[in-house]
Chains A and B, each alone.
Chain A
Amino acid sequence: MRNPLYGRDIVSIGDLSKSDLEFIIERAAKLKASGPQPLLKDRLIASCFFEASTRTRLSFETAVQRLGGTLIGFSDSGHTSSKKGETLSDSIRMIASYADAIIMRHPQEGSARLAAEVADIPVINGGDGANQHPTQTLLDLFSIAECQGRLEGLSVALVGDLKYGRTVHSLAQALGHFKPRFYFVSPKALAMPAYIEDSLTEAGIQFEYIDQLEDVIPLVDVLYMTRVQKERFDPTEYMHLASQFILKPEMLERAAEHLRVMHPLPRVDEIHPAVDRTPHAYYFQQAENGVYARQALLSLVMNETVLDSVEGDPADV
């Protein structure tokens, strides 16, 4: 079977087709079930974090190490030549001559696309400014598929900052392949941007706005919460707004049994800690799934014929 991900750059969720997404998710599930496999043995991966991001970096680096790969890299740009004024293009050219693949995060939008054009090895985007973070979307899709048993035809509420949140934009775009029904719950000032609404309408995807968080709960399979960032509002306004978008355990009484609450983390106030003890909480499994989704992606990008090996005895690999 052909591996359509082999040798590819993973810059933007829009670069991945529906079948690519399904392929990665299926692979992540297999890797989660099979346990670690040496699929990146003798491979050197550069983990280049021009901007610090502990969660994403650790998740990626865990994925590499669990698959037997080795790592070089840096966790922020403080000690790199970019401080001396080196261009990103030059840094990437150099790193690409050392490693077999590059994982990168950078504070500027478009940095990963540029790096992918400059490097002759695969570049995986771990976040470029406010633009894309495709592996977050992959782990979200994998988690949704895992907890709901399917991706097709789900009702999904996206809650919180829908204006600036790249996570929800990419998730809406990716889930759009699977005929979802969306409910948007956000402060008016943080509503979904018009261009996202336009693209959903164009694709024939149903969506509606719901004012109250508790009203959306009985309607959905997945409640995807995001953080309303304090710095976007003055303190009084924030207090008022934030109080309307806090998920409390009693709100989940009207939830379907299979409803799962997700969150890209870190959470601040928007999910009451008591929700953690309900069977609906799924955000920590979701974070754990980040490792499997990244393992799946890395193993597919780095191995042309990886597919059958994982299904057999791990010792055969």
Chain B
Amino acid sequence: MSEPRRETMLVEAIQSGTVIDHIPAGKGLVILGRLQIKNAQARLTVGLNLPSKGSGLKDLVKVDEWPFTEQDAAELALFAPDATVNIIEDYRVVRKFPISLPEVFVGVFPCPNSNCITHNEPVETRFTVLTQGERVQLRCHYCERSFADTLFTEN
């Protein structure tokens, strides 16, 4: 437990909440943006280009007083697939899990098909995740079209 704790101190320790670690360098601000969309009131701290344990650099985001569920973490999977989530209580890591692709994304992304009914109706979008080797596609539950994951992460 000492290692993660020392690392998180690099920015500023949080008493409770979530530390998203091992975000690929350059993606930290994207993650920040996603979290702000989800909760505009969230207290966030970001560390960019921090030294990573292995080699190279990483970004890191701390989220005060919001212990992530697997679902919260999964929503970030397209942006930082290799990141890890540390749940903090009383300045200690009490749980640690990798971000992994969910089976479905509910209410996370707008449908790229501009003629999809979800743009006009009070309904949450719903995408099924389809993986074929390295390729990830999201299929809209409503308009039934499939889109490459990059379509959701670029812009």
**Which chain A residues have a beta carbon within 8 Å of chain B's beta carbons?**
12, 14, 87-89, 106-111, 113-114, 117, 128-132, 195, 198
Contact of A87 among B120, B142, B144, B145 (CB under 8 A): B120
CA–CA, A61 to B41, complex, Å? 54
Given contact pairs A109-B113, A129-B115, A114 touches B123 in the complex (Cβ within 8 A): yes
Given contact pairs A88-B117, A130-B115, A109 touches B143 in the complex (Cβ within 8 A): yes
CA–CA, A125 to B7, complex, Å? 56
Indicate whether B84 reaches chain A with its CB closer than 8 angstroms: no
Residues in A neighbouring B118, C-beta threshold 8 A: 110, 114
Contact status B144-A110, CB under 8 Å = yes
CA–CA, A132 to B118, complex, Å? 16
| Residues 103-145 of B contacting A (Cβ, < 8 Å) | 111, 113, 115-118, 120-123, 132, 140-145
Contact status B115-A114, CB under 8 Å = no
Contact of B121 among A14, A88, A131, A195 (CB under 8 A): A88
Contact status B116-A110, CB under 8 Å = yes
Contact of A108 among B120, B122, B123 (CB under 8 A): B120
Q: How large is the interface on B (under 10, 10 to 19, 20 to 34, 35 or more residues)?
A: 10 to 19
Chain B, Cβ-Cβ closest to A115: B117
Given contact pairs A89-B122, A114-B123, A108 touches B146 in the complex (Cβ within 8 A): no
Known: A128-B143, A131-B143, A132-B144; 15 extra A-B contacts, CB below 8 A, are A87-B120, A89-B122, A89-B123, A107-B115, A108-B115, A108-B117, A109-B116, A110-B116, A110-B140, A110-B144, A113-B141, A114-B121, A128-B117, A130-B115, A131-B145
Interface centre among A109, A128, A129, A132 (most CB of B within 10 A): A109
Main secondary structure of the interface of A (DSSP, over half): mixed
Q: How far is the CB of B62 from chain A (nearest CB, A)?
A: 38
Contact status B142-A109, CB under 8 Å = yes
Chain A, Cβ-Cβ closest to B125: A110
Contact status A109-B115, CB under 8 Å = yes
Contact status A111-B146, CB under 8 Å = no
Contact status A110-B122, CB under 8 Å = no
Residues in A neighbouring B115, C-beta threshold 8 A: 107-109, 129-130
Closest 9 CB pairs of A and B: A110-B142, A109-B143, A110-B117, A110-B143, A108-B117, A111-B117, A113-B142, A110-B116, A114-B117
Contact of B117 among A12, A14, A109 (CB under 8 A): A109
Residues in B neighbouring A88, C-beta threshold 8 A: 117, 120-121
Interface centre among A14, A114, A130 (most CB of B within 10 A): A114
CA–CA, A195 to B145, complex, Å? 10
Contact status B116-A108, CB under 8 Å = yes
Residues in A neighbouring B144, C-beta threshold 8 A: 12, 14, 109-110, 113, 131-132
CA–CA, A108 to B142, complex, Å? 10
Contact status B145-A109, CB under 8 Å = yes
Residues in B neighbouring A87, C-beta threshold 8 A: 120-122
CA–CA, A68 to B155, complex, Å? 55
A sample of 22 inter-chain contacts (CB < 8 A) reads: A12-B144, A87-B122, A88-B117, A89-B123, A108-B117, A109-B115, A109-B142, A113-B117, A113-B141, A113-B142, A114-B117, A114-B118, A114-B121, A114-B142, A117-B123, A128-B117, A128-B143, A129-B115, A130-B115, A131-B144, A131-B145, A195-B146
Q: How far is the CB of B129 from chain A (nearest CB, A)?
A: 15
Contact status B143-A129, CB under 8 Å = yes
Q: How far is the CB of A10 from chain B (nearest CB, A)?
A: 14
Chain A, Cβ-Cβ closest to B145: A109
Chain A, Cβ-Cβ closest to B132: A198
CA–CA, A87 to B122, complex, Å? 8
Chain A, Cβ-Cβ closest to B123: A114
Residues in A neighbouring B145, C-beta threshold 8 A: 109, 131
Interface string of B143-155 (1 = CB under 8 A from A): 1111000000000
Residues in B neighbouring A107, C-beta threshold 8 A: 115
Residues in A neighbouring B111, C-beta threshold 8 A: 110
CA–CA, A221 to B148, complex, Å? 36
CA–CA, A209 to B120, complex, Å? 39
Q: How far is the CB of B146 from chain A (nearest CB, A)?
A: 6
CA–CA, A12 to B143, complex, Å? 10
CA–CA, A88 to B144, complex, Å? 18
CA–CA, A114 to B140, complex, Å? 12
Interface string of B72-114 (1 = CB under 8 A from A): 0000000000000000000000000000000000000001010
